[in-house]
Amino acid sequence: MGTPSRQLILDNLKSTLEGITVAGGYKTDVVEVEKVIRDFGDVVDSRRPWIGIMPQQQTFAYEPGSSMRCVMPVLIVAHLHAATKAEVIDDVDDLHDDIIAALMVDETRGGHAAMTFIDSEQDDTGDPDSKASGTLEMIIRVIYYRTTESS
């Protein structure tokens, strides 16, 4: 059996988010993407903007013909730092837009998924204690199919 679809999808998400660079047409130069979620304090300034991805609890629906519809929520967390609170607000907005744009370039995650949806987003820019740092969280949903014989 080949590499499972779930792993290929997560690899695609990581490489897609690594492609967020100004040279690639985005507003942000992402420094690092990992398949792990870290607290803000665990990511030093030189690694920011930093993005972490982590799959959440999946749901499955069995369908005729030995196939299964899999719905995989993925938590995306990004940490940023800027010189001022105003700059970090702008940077969070830019990264938010960049993540959405990057994810929507290929909603099939390299042909391994049926669809990618963005469910929710929140950030801490409204928190007066966040100062010149920001954290952005998104939940996306990736829908893919598998059969008993493959992926």
8 Å CB contact between 33 and 18: yes
8 Å CB contact between 81 and 111: no
Q: Structure pTM?
A: 0.92
Helix or strand (DSSP H, E) at 15? helix 5-18
pLDDT in tens, 86-141: 899 999 999 999 999 999 999 999 999 999 999 999 999 878 777 778 999 999 99
The confidence score (pLDDT) of residue 3 equals 78
Dmax over Cα atoms in the chain, in whole Å?
57
pLDDT-derived band at 148 (thresholds 50, 70, 90) equals low
> Is pLDDT at 150 greater than 60 in this prediction?
no
Place of tokens 């007066």: 128
The confidence score (pLDDT) of residue 130 equals 74
